[in-house]
Amino acid sequence: MQSVNLGLIGLGTVGGGVARLIMKHHDKYLEHYGIDLVIKRACSRDQAEAERIGLAEGVFTPDWHDVVNDPDIHIVIELVGGEHPATEIFEESFKNGKHVVSANKALLGRHVEHLASLAAECGVQIRCEAAAAGGIPVVHALEHDLVGNDILTIAGIMNGTTNYILSRMQHEGLSFEEVLSAAQAAGYAEADPTADVDGFDAASKIAILSSIGFQTRVTTDDVFMQGIRNVSATDIEMAREFGYTIKLLAIARKTDAGIDVRVHPTMIPNSHQLASVDGAMNAVFVVGDAVGETMLYGAGAGSFPTASAVVGDIMALADPIAKGGAPLPEQEPFGRNMPIRPIDELKTRYYVRLTVEDRLGTLAACTNAFAECGISISHISQTESEDGETCTLIYVTHEALEKDIRKAEATLEALDGIREVSSIIRVENIDAWTEGVFAN
């Protein structure tokens, strides 16, 4: 049996968790799987981190080149995040014949094709289970367990911070700003929450998952993205009245018109499994033509849950190495570019909340604006506001095209008597997710 030498780059929340998990369970991995994991080098800007973790002397280095150039290291674990020097860490590791395990969704969401090509060329593997939905083994499910299927839909809650915020807004009737501040104070949200609340983090993850699941190239820039800043306590309350819950969903579907891929606040029926995923938890629905609906649920972030995914990847690479063999090289990227369906072509139901002046004719004018754009309405309700000057008008449409809704939005905004189009939230057609599943 051969020891498997690891080079860890990044010793923050995730890197620290990985190091601690490996040190804690080293003997168990050896006893049960015959795999002797050795943290040969560990790199961080801050030596104190290495000391706190209790890494052996001589393991620490402040220079990542020492890790990727160490000829004894089999697997490099890149946990620094961001594009640089992460890209260079990948590239130099590959050139030196090292496999790379990474949790870097920002990088992989944008550049997986370049990196996978290079890995394939160098005969090594990239593994990135931790880059999408943390501890939940959804990357692996798409890459291996479900490969017998044609994957039809991947959809879910892939950002814990926004789900935590929406859950608290829902249960406590608080505003977005109130919960965000509380979440920042408690360490559940970053000081700069942009990547989470504006949807970028979820967009990176759905780009990675849909590239793997649909065997095509989807990058973060292909994903339509809208965050949760505009979701109000009123919207959540109205959704509840209709039997719906608002979640920030990342949704990717293979349609005849191309890949429909988007991140936005979404109304889903309370009876759907995703509606009851609360707090910082993540859940990913995967629909395959053979397997039908499946869902994977778990912690999408956090030191040890993410470390669980990273160590799972390490062990998959380590298994053949320990037995004197080598992991299979990365598959050549697909070279296939299915078109991305523009968001304008989305056809779904919409919830529209308007703040209007409380005067004769406004309701008729608004209703008319929808009709002019070819949108038919399934529900209208009106409530007076506390200031006595404005009302809230809620419209729920029948199925309409996104481009017609945009037209209606512009028309409405130009109307006299309209203060603002306060929010537009898509009501997801959940039934479409399972179109194409085989009958048993």
Task: Give the one residue of 1, 147, 380, 410 binding a second copy; rule: CB under 8 A.
Answer: 147
Beta bridge partners of residue 43, listed in sequence order: 9, 61
Q: Minimum distance between the CB of residue 73 and a second copy, rounded to whole angstroms? A: 19
* Residue 380 touches a second copy, criterion: CB under 8 A: no
Kindly state the smallest distance separating residue 108's Cβ from a second copy, in Å: 18
Query: What 8-state DSSP symbol labels residue 219?
Result: -
Q: Residue 402 is which amino acid?
A: E
Residues from 251 through 290 that contact a second copy (CB under 8 A): 273, 276, 288-290
User: What are φ and ψ of residue 347, in 5° steps?
Assistant: -125, 115
d(C-alpha 365, C-alpha 362), whole Å: 5
Whether the CB-CB separation of 92 and 68 falls below 8 Å is answered with: yes
Question: Per-residue contact track with a second copy, 8 to 47, x per CB under 8 A?
Answer: ---------x---xx--x--xx--xxx-------------
Pick the catalytic residue: 28, 40, 95, 205?
A: 205
Does the protein bind a second copy through residue 135 (CB under 8 A)? yes
For 1, other C-beta atoms within 10 Å of its C-beta total 10
Out of 117, 230, 294, 348, name the contact with a second copy by CB under 8 A. 294
Q: What is the DSSP string of 259-325?
A: EEEEEEEEEEETTSGGGG--TTEEEEEEEETTTEEEEEEEE-SSHHHHHHHHHHHHHHHHHHHHTT-
Q: Taking the CB of residue 30, how many other CB atoms lie within 10 A of it?
A: 15
The residue (of 273 and 378) whose beta carbon lies closer to a second copy is 273
Q: In the bound complex, what is the minimum distance in angstroms from residue 245's beta carbon to a second copy?
A: 13
Question: How far apart are CB 312 and a second copy at their closest, in Å?
Answer: 4
Q: Which window, 160-168, 234-242, 295-303, 346-354, contacts a second copy (CB under 8 A)?
A: 295-303
Element at 338 (helix H, strand E): none
Chain center to CA of 34: 34
Give catalytic status of residue 98 as yes or no: no
What is the set of active-site residues?
205
Query: Which residues bind to a second copy, rule: CB under 8 A?
Result: 17, 21-22, 25, 28-29, 32-34, 129, 135-137, 140-141, 144-150, 215, 273, 276, 288-299, 302-305, 307-312, 314-316, 319-320, 323, 325, 328, 331, 334, 438, 440
